[in-house]
């Protein structure tokens, strides 16, 4: 067998190795990336070398049917993104055009694609500055990237990057930051020939107006209550190179919440995205606010104490019970007093009974002299007594 034939057989095996299948399988990382891409927000994947960031992008591009254009940011000059000056016939009249690189021309010609800016944390500050316009304004030289082009970047933490730099705050604040980690089961099954399939979120057309109204109400309510989080530039250089709150990143969060609402996205995926836009602290506070936004109205609970929905999660159920007691305190009446006790009794029977102790104590303190103690309070007496004995012990 000649060397040429042997190489041909080797190439055949290499081709077989590249043939893999995909399957619908829940993968929060891929779901978060796909939703951010659908929302047309620049995404930055952070992960150690060899973790599979590039492979994930290749899989996403293939599944979405988008041509993938990879640009290694660290090996380019600032002019590769800002454009190379080209002198025309009469520069005094026409000016000097900034010619874009060939990869930008291809993206404009195709009208769609996935622009992958790799090794972002090894790009020097001058290159990062040139990338600002690409990421925010989608301009490369004199060209504007079409709406069908999505931007995703990848970076290694400074400690594991070759000659790594911290991301500049202006550039970092233009991305949704996602921590990319490996899932042992996904890797094992993928090496067996089957990888999870990346799919764009399915937006319900009928829910779009409600999703937008929900997102606007959530962000407006939250930032009105927490004005100090509208803009908070971190003091640490390392933290500045990640996600932090600013009007720009809150605007990205608004888009993420609206898309997640319209798509019925899981809380875990929404949490990854929101924290990736404004940081862990502000993101978790907003998520807690979103939970409260979905709580039933205390007045509706008092109006139908036997059938009104009560949340399963303990913290949310506690918030509803506290809201019922507060609603009674605002508008006390004998009928509402009885209804509040009915709510507490049902909560004690359908969930952790210790959650009822504090609201029951507060409710008892609101009793008027002419209000009889309801008979159903006996259903709570054992719970309250047991909780108090446990607390004393």
Q: Write out the DSSP string of 112-129.
A: EEEEEEE-GGGS-HHHHH
| Residue percentage of the chain with pLDDT more than 90 | 32
Give a yes or no: residue 351 inside a domain: yes
Do residues 68 and 160 share a domain? yes
3-class secondary-structure state, position 76: coil
In which residue are the tokens 């530039």 written?
233
Q: Which of the four pLDDT bands, split at 50, 70 and 90, describes residue 381?
A: low
Please give the tally of structural domains in the chain.
Answer: 3
Paired tokens of 57 = 């992008």
Query: Which helix (H) or strand (E) segment is 352 a member of?
Result: none
Do residues 180 and 282 share a domain? no
Do residues 345 and 306 share a domain? yes
Do residues 281 and 341 share a domain? no
Residues in the chain: 393
Residue 393 scores a pLDDT above 60: no
Give a yes or no: residue 12 inside a domain: no
Q: What is the dihedral of CA 80, 81, 82, 87, to 10 degrees?
A: 40
Do residues 179 and 321 share a domain? no
Alpha carbons 119 and 70: distance in angstroms, whole number: 10
Alpha carbons 100 and 83: distance in angstroms, whole number: 5
3-class secondary-structure state, position 155: strand
Q: Range of 224's domain?
A: 205-293
Alpha carbons 87 and 97: distance in angstroms, whole number: 7
pTM of the shown model = 0.77
Alpha carbons 285 and 253: distance in angstroms, whole number: 13
Residue closest to 290 by CA, chosen among 222, 205, 213: 222
Q: What is the pLDDT of residues 157-214, one digit of tens each?
A: 866 655 667 888 999 999 999 998 878 888 888 888 888 887 888 999 999 999 999 9
Report in angstroms the alpha-carbon separations of 358 from 87, 160, 346, 348, 388.
77, 50, 15, 12, 10
Do residues 43 and 183 share a domain? yes
3-class secondary-structure state, position 364: helix
Do residues 277 and 190 share a domain? no
277 DSSP β-pair partners:
none
Q: Which of the four pLDDT bands, split at 50, 70 and 90, describes residue 388?
A: very low
């Amino acid at each position: 067998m000649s060397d040429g034939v042997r190489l041909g057989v080797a190439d055949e095996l290499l081709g077989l190795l590249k043939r893999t299948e995909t399957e619908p399988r829940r993968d929060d990382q891929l779901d978060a990336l796909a939703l951010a891409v659908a929302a047309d927000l620049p995404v930055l994947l952070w992960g150690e070398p060899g973790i599979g960031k590039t492979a994930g992008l290749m899989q996403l591009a293939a599944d979405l049917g988008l041509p993938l254009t990879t640009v290694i940011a660290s090996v380019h000059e600032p002019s590769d993104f800002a454009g190379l000056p080209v002198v025309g016939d009469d520069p005094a009249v026409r000016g000097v055009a900034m010619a874009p690189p060939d990869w930008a021309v291809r993206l404009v010609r195709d009208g769609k694609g996935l622009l992958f800016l790799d090794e972002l944390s090894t790009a020097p500050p001058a290159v990062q500055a040139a990338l600002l316009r690409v990421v925010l304004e989608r301009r490369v030289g004199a060209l504007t990237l079409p709406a069908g082009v999505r931007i995703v970047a990848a970076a290694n933490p400074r400690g594991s990057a070759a000659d790594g730099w911290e991301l500049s705050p202006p550039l970092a604040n233009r991305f949704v930051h996602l921590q990319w980690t490996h899932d042992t089961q996904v890797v094992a099954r993928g090496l067996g020939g089957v990888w999870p399939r990346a799919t764009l979120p399915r937006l319900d057309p009928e829910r779009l107006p409600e999703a937008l109204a929900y997102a606007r109400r959530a962000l407006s309510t939250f930032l009105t209550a927490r004005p100090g989080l509208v803009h908070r530039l971190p003091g640490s250089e390392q933290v500045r190179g990640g996600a932090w709150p600013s009007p720009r990143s809150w605007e990205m969060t608004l888009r993420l919440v609206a898309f997640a609402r319209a798509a019925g996205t899981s809380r875990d995926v929404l949490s990854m995205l929101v924290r990736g836009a404004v940081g862990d602290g502000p993101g978790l506070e907003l998520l807690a606010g979103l939970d409260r936004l979905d709580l039933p109205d205390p007045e509706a609970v008092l109006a139908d104490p036997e059938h009104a929905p009560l949340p399963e999660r303990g913290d949310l159920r506690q918030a509803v019970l506290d809201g019922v007691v507060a609603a009674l305190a605002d508008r006390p009446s004998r009928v509402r007093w009885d209804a509040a006790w009915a709510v507490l009794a049902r909560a004690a029977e359908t969930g952790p009974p210790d959650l009822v102790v504090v609201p029951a104590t507060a409710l008892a303190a609101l009793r008027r002299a002419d209000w009889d103690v309801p008979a159903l309070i006996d259903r709570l007496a054992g719970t309250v007594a047991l909780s108090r004995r446990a607390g004393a012990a």
